Amino acid sequence: MRRNFKFLFDPVFLTSLTLYTLNNLTIGSRSFLTHPFFENYFNDLFLVPVIVPAILFASKSIGIRQGNMPPSLLEIALPLAVWSIAFEFVGPFFFSKGTADIYDVLSYFVGGIISWLIWNRRWHFNSHPK
């Protein structure tokens, strides 16, 4: 049985939002976080765990999404594909905004998979008969 998803009160969402915000506050400061990974890719890991719960909360609030299930793989994959195309193809090539970078897409993907595994761990790991 799956547990209820807490949307904007979900621990993955709250932790990701906190780490995203702290990283934004420290970029450019004289800290150990001035490594290129923290400047270029760290926040990309949190795109899915921060944005997907907000989208699902809004969808549930207006009646598009039913129930309190954790995000499905499709609910993660669809925004991931849209963001990757928008941020890494459309923006850089058609509007000269941002830089096309496959490592950004990889960061979105890794963050999405880790989030999905955490959100669905009880169902995913306990659904097999013993």
Cα 68 from Cα 5, distance rounded (Å): 5
The domain of 75 spans: 7-126
Number of domains in the chain: 1
pLDDT of 46 higher than 80: yes
Give the model's confidence band at 8: pLDDT under 50 very low, under 70 low, under 90 confident, else very high.
Answer: very high
What is the spatial distance between Cα 17 and Cα 46, in angstroms, rounded to a whole number?
7
Q: Within 13 Å and on the Cβ side, how many CA atoms surround 21?
A: 7
Instruction: Give 94: exposed, middle or buried? Use CB within 10 Å, 0-12, 13-18, 19+.
Output: exposed
- How confident is residue 92, by pLDDT bands cut at 50, 70 and 90? confident
Return the CA Rg of the chain: 16
Give pLDDT tens digits for 48-79.
999 999 999 999 999 999 999 999 999 999 99
**Residue 129, pLDDT score:** 47
* 12 inside domain: yes
In a domain, 16, yes or no: yes
